[in-house]
Chain A
Amino acid sequence: MERGRRVPRDSSIPRLPITILEGVCDYCGCCVGVCSADAIELRASSIEIDEERCTLCMKCVHACPLGALLYQGTLKIEGKP
């Protein structure tokens, strides 16, 4: 088993309703520390949420000291306008 590697996205899965404000994020890891789903991939200066693992618990959105994670409240389906 190899964990942590990103898998190609299945486009039938709804797009994640969390937006990361990359210009605001400081890559501090506070969000990763509260995520029970191991869904956040945080490198030295990049951050990604794995949509397939994320359970939309919103803990990361609440914990971010800078407010860099925004919940949009609606599910967007990729491919649809």
Chain B
Amino acid sequence: MNDRYDVVVIGAGPAGSVAALGIAREGFSVLLLEKDPQVGIPVRCGEAVSARSLEALTDVDPHWITATIRRFRLVAPSGAMVEPDIGGHGYILDRVRFDGDLARAAVDAGAVLLTDAYAYGLVTGANGFEGVLYEHEGECRRVSARIIIGADGVESRVGRWAGIETAATLRDMECCTQMTLSNIDTARDTCTFYFGSAIAPEGYLWVFPKGDRQANVGIGISGTAAQKRRPISFLREFVSSHFPGAVVSRVVAGGDPCAETLRRITAQNVVLVGDAARQVNPLSGGGITSGMQAAEMAARAVVRALREKRPSRLSEYPREWRRKIGAKHRTYYRMKEVVRRFPDAALDDIAERVLRLPPEKRTLWGVFKTALVHHPSLLWEMVRTFHISLSD
């Protein structure tokens, strides 16, 4: 194996693999380091994406899709259910396959993938960062790179090593637990979201169907709420009351940084993408496609910087991100702050009012109008839900 690459990418999640692909296919040498023994495992994700967003990024392989989503069901604290017409569709992915295929595409384009490779530091030199230190098979190694990409997810440390403050506040970190359940009755085309302080304070609980009688059932609540009662405790209670006969095939924890994008996402020759840069949609917590979009932008800037031997070209990436997506995420972040303050009683009231509408008016727009008239701030709640997987 070489000890010198044009680019080292740390983390083979969707963002890292897409960045590696974009750079390798332009003929530059890329090393992709992944700490886990296998790309894509474990899955710490609800796996929901908007079809439109995903299709804009890649040709969708049917093998990635475990369910096609055509309906949303929103459950208010009282139990009242609203089913707005969502006017589009989404997918529940199989992220083991999805992440694996994205990494394979990068390898096919010429990138070198090393799993079981844990990055633990950067090498500092006279002209910025000269390389990456990592452990592989119990051995400490060092690799030189012209540009280093931190795609190391919610647990990212690459930014910190490069001098960027990346830690999320407790308020912004959505602390998650998810169970994959089987042997359950759930509509195969419907994502259900539960709101309210007794079920998921400062967050929401989701039921996303996954193939045959299976679902990802998870919860994300803010760190400030998690401090009072653990997400796993809320989830256990929910699952035992809603899915008594379920077989729990997997339980995972996770963190979803529902923050605004970091103020700096590059530092000298270091570039951050995906969760590492806090590029999650802060309202919905969805970060698969936004991380991939960022990675494409980053790859373009990196390729230009390498070709022209001008690291300053990297700054085109943060500019493009802010213009195309970052500005929207800033708005979503503000909406999230409003939604957080919404009391259970108001959520119940809006659900009641929507249910009194004739069925043909129960579109997202009908819900919007009702919300707007009776509880102006509830509008945000609806927007939030809408954005969970069907929009960006």
Which residues of A approach B to under 8 Å, CB–CB? 1-5, 26, 28-36, 38, 41-44, 59, 62-67
Contact A66 B230 (CB under 8 A): yes
Min C-beta distance of A31 to chain B, whole Å: 8
Interface string of B219-243 (1 = CB under 8 A from A): 0000110110011100000000000
Question: Does B372 sit within 8 A of A, measured CB to CB?
Answer: no
- Residues of A contacting B223 in the complex (Cβ-Cβ under 8 angstroms): 34, 59, 62-63
B232 and A4 contact, CB distance less than 8 A: no
Contact B226 A62 (CB under 8 A): yes
**Can you report 25 residue pairs joining A to B where beta carbons are below 8 Å apart?**
A2-B121, A2-B124, A4-B119, A26-B253, A29-B155, A30-B154, A30-B175, A30-B253, A30-B255, A32-B157, A33-B257, A34-B169, A35-B167, A38-B160, A43-B118, A43-B135, A59-B167, A59-B223, A63-B223, A64-B226, A65-B226, A65-B255, A66-B177, A67-B230, A67-B232
Out of B226, B227, B255, name the residue touching A33 (CB < 8 Å): B255
The 8 closest A-B pairs by CB, nearest first: A29-B155, A30-B255, A4-B121, A62-B227, A4-B120, A32-B155, A28-B253, A36-B167
Q: Say yes or no: is B108 at the interface (Cβ < 8 Å to chain A).
A: no
**Would you call B133 an interface residue if the criterion is a C-beta within 8 Å of the partner chain's C-beta atoms?**
yes
CA distance A31 to B257 in the complex (A): 11
* A1–B119 CA distance with the chains assembled, in angstroms: 15
- 0/1 string, B3-24, CB within 8 A of A gives 1: 0000000000000000000000
Query: Chain A at the B interface: mostly helix, strand, loop or mixed?
Result: loop
Separation of A47 and B36 alpha carbons in the complex (Å): 14
Which of B116, B167, B170, B252 interacts with A28 by CB under 8 Å?
Answer: B252
- Which among B157, B160, B169, B175 is the interface contact of A65 at CB below 8 angstroms? B175
Chain A residues, CB < 8 A from B257? 33
Complex interface: chain B residues within 8 A of A64 (CB): 175, 226, 230, 253
Residues A4 and B155 in contact, CB atoms below 8 Å apart: no
Report how many residues on chain B are interfacial, defined by Cβ distance under 8 Å: 45
Other 14 A-B pairs with CB < 8 A, given A59-B167, A63-B173, A66-B253: A2-B121, A3-B121, A3-B160, A4-B157, A5-B121, A26-B252, A30-B173, A32-B154, A33-B167, A34-B223, A36-B165, A38-B161, A62-B224, A62-B227
Residue of A nearest to B160 (CB): A38
Q: Are B161 and A3 in contact (CB under 8 A)?
A: yes
Assess the A65–B231 pair: CB atoms within 8 A: yes
Nearest-Cβ distance from residue A66 to partner chain B, whole angstroms: 5
A59 CA / B203 CA spacing, docked (Å): 18
The residue in chain A whose Cβ has the minimal distance to the Cβ of B223 is A63
Is the Cβ of B121 less than 8 Å from the Cβ of A65?
no
B230 to A, closest residue via Cβ:
A67
From A32, which residue of chain B is reached at the shortest CB distance? Answer: B155
Contacts of A31 in B (CB 8 A): 255
A28-B255, A63-B255 known; A34 vs B173 contact (CB < 8 Å): yes
Distance in Å: Cβ of A68 to nearest Cβ of chain B: 8
The answer to whether B35 has its CB under 8 Å from any CB of chain A is: yes
**In whole Å, how far is B82's beta carbon from the nearest beta carbon of chain A?**
28
Residue of A nearest to B225 (CB): A62
- Residues of A near B120 (CB, < 8 A) are 4-5, 41
Cross-chain contact B170 with A59 (CB below 8 angstroms): yes
The residue in chain B whose Cβ has the minimal distance to the Cβ of A6 is B120
Contact B232 A29 (CB under 8 A): no
